Amino acid sequence: MKHDNPLLNLKSDHRLNAIPFPLFKTEHFLPAIEEAIKVAKAEIEALKSNPEAPTFENTILELELNGELLGYTANIYFNLLGAESGPEHKALAQQISPMLAEFSSAIATDPQIFARVKAVYEAEVAGKPKPVIPEDINDKEAIKAAERYRLIERSYTGFIRGGAMLNEADKKRLTEISMEASAISPKFSDNVLNATNNWELHITDPKQVEGIPENSLNAAAFLAKKKGKEGGWLFNLQPSSLTPVVTYCKDREIRRQIQTAYSCRAFKDEFDNQELILKTLKLREERAKLLGYQNHADYVLSDRMADSYDTAKAFLEKIYDVAYPVALKEVDEVREFARQLDGLEELMPWDMGYYSNKLKEQRYAYDPEELRPWFKVENVVEGLFVVAKKIYGISVKQVYDIPVYHPDVTTWEVWDKDDTYLGLMYMDLFPRETKRGGAWKTSFQGQGMHRDGMRRPVVSIVASLTPSTDDQPSLLTLNEARTIFHEFGHALHSLLADGYYKGLSGTSVLWDFVELPSQIMENWLLEEEALNLFAKHYQTGEALPKELLDKVIAAKNFQAGMANVTQLRYALMDFAWHTADPASITDVDAFEKEVTERFRLLPAVDGTNISCAFSHIFAGGYSAGYYSYKWAEALEADAWSLFLEKGIFNAEVAEAFRKYILARGNAFHPMDEFVAFRGRKPDPDALLKRDGLL
């Protein structure tokens, strides 16, 4: 029977059961989620009142399948919240997020459910040997048995981490914490987006835009026209608008304005996030203490590949010891270069991008802007799919009959080499005011078992790349092309998933392992053999000249010390926020300055602050987890070395990476999966070697 509220119909009339986005209105979401919670609660009551002894099927699997309708509606709501939402849609998060948190917490702290889970755990996992990856990775029965073990184990530890062992008063408090924290996170994100959208710079004097590439000026003129400005150029804080200004604009004051505006978003303005940071830290600390951990970082790291805060911090400090002295030398080079070139007395943050680029140009005789004509967005996307076909044998075909939530969105079907359907993918690549900044991959449906049987994944890649104008197609920078390759790596992790249970499938891995598939995919972008497949000039069709590619590759490790220090500053600042006693932090800015001082490469600028716009850790899933990028990068550098050794399109290596890493998801511990692929544990120095720092 069809429901009046279109969000409550798990089946649609569309081929592939595609989500009927055009049917949804903002007013549908809250009632749909309220109804879906009722349905999920009824399923939970049936599980609790089942008179049969607890088994894998009637307890663990039942929990895995619980709340399918709720998952469907909530996924749509939150994915649109990030990609396409107006003020009314955003405001609903303050009601929806606490409702979902309360429901999740009620399950996690329910003694009857935990007793059933514990009984299955004791019968099938406790004291039993952990399954190892079978010699024959195609042995379906062995894989299914291993997944069964892993799902029971993960369910049991999940309940303990969710507060199942606490007394009633502490359980109640834990639920309150979850509800409160869940409302803060979207508010933080909204503030960053509003602060980003709130700032514009309209320039009419041609002297003030001197040096900015023609492509970027065309985009800025197009934006000015679109916003009803009288001529000139309009710049904003989207990376595709901001980056060309700080990299090329000769006018130092213009560079200062845009760089500073970006660096003080949501800090001491009408969208100030300082109070939300302090509240968030207190709630996270209180939850960690309730659950028996020293602090939030210990709580998070106890369920990561790194295994402990000490291990992750030691890993970062080792890179710091090598990279920081190199970064200081790199900054001195730029400082001296700027002094000689323009007599600049003091190098400031808004000078770094500009003079670094000039130095790079002098040293390697090329400017990154030269690459844009070879990176027309349609060619990059098609090229990416050609590369993926050559690696894994898969085909990605554009389809036009799938409903979308915005006209910018394109839809793609993914097929395996034996013509097996692998999944559906949406791509939404350009900025707009209804979308948060940055780039991400998300899922509307996970691969694995659902109530009606096995389903293939539905994924989406969202970004804010250089858009086209009336006169010119979208031409990407190398970094923007890298972003598409990166996010498609995440998408492949879901699309090539081949598990039984969606809770273990695809990107549902330990968080510091999740960036391995995305980061490894970036490598093909700078390989001549791959680029020759698609890098054609958008007007002439000419292939990317070898001498230009050689210059790009030669410059690959330019300022690698600074790049590492930037990432380390984010990662170790994240740890500082989540290991300090929140009661001792009264001034957000003072705390940030204190913990980032050891990473300082340039003079501090009053009024700027990183943390207030650090959505990854205060509104995303990376709290006490930002180190994951460097951790996974080290794994990826080592994994990629095998491709380099055997050939970047070597079928045997690609098949091993697919079968042991991408297809397996969280069926085994990530270290076991990595060793099965690489034949040994990771080389701890692989990253430093690759970056030319060792």
Residue 97 is inside which H or E element, if any?
A: helix 93-108
428: three-class secondary structure by DSSP: strand
487 classed as catalytic:
yes
Fill in the amino acid letter for 223: L
Query: CA-to-CA distance for 269 and 275, rounded, in angstroms?
Result: 12
Of 331, 306, 304, the closest CA to residue 316 belongs to 306
The two beta strands, 421-428 and 458-462, are: parallel
Residue 489 is inside which H or E element, if any?
A: helix 478-495
Query: CA-to-CA distance for 327 and 348, rounded, in angstroms?
Result: 15
Locus of tokens 């790349």: 465
Query: CA-to-CA distance for 24 and 14, rounded, in angstroms?
Result: 15
Locus of tokens 């409550």: 8
Task: At 206, list the tokens.
Answer: 């041609």
Query: CA-to-CA distance for 352 and 602, rounded, in angstroms?
Result: 9
Locus of tokens 């791509």: 427
Query: CA-to-CA distance for 148 and 501, rounded, in angstroms?
Result: 8
Task: At 284, list the tokens.
Answer: 């996270």
Residues 6+ positions from 279 with CB-CB distance below 8 Å = 180, 184
Cβ pair 204, 232 in contact under 8 A: yes
Cα–Cα distances in Å, from 673 out to 19, 362, 561, 662? 34, 44, 30, 10
The two beta strands, 410-415 and 395-399, are: antiparallel
Residues 6+ positions from 465 with CB-CB distance below 8 Å = 240, 377, 429, 430, 431, 439, 474, 476, 480, 483, 484
How many beta carbons lie within 10 A of that of residue 498, not counting itself?
Answer: 21
Q: Which candidate in 68, 480, 487, 633 is catalytic? A: 487
Fill in the amino acid letter for 494: S
Query: CA-to-CA distance for 285 and 118, rounded, in angstroms?
Result: 27
Alpha helices in 291-399 (DSSP H): 296-301, 309-342, 349-364, 377-392
**Positive/negative CA dihedral, 15, 382, 436, 287:** positive
Query: CA-to-CA distance for 125 and 154, rounded, in angstroms?
Result: 11
Q: What is the DSSP letter of 54?
A: P
Q: Can you list the pairs that 352-356 forms with residues at least 24 positions away whose Cβ atoms lie under 8 Å?
A: 352/602, 353/243, 353/246, 353/247, 353/255, 353/259, 354/246, 354/247, 354/248, 354/249, 354/255, 356/559
Of 595, 593, 686, the closest CA to residue 635 belongs to 686
Residues 6+ positions from 373 with CB-CB distance below 8 Å = 475, 537, 538, 539
Of 42, 43, 596, 614, the closest CA to residue 273 belongs to 614
User: For the packed helices 560-579 and 309-342, what is the interaxial angle rounded to 10 degrees?
Assistant: 140
Task: At 487, list the tokens.
Answer: 């996010």
Looking at the annotation, which residues are catalytic? 487
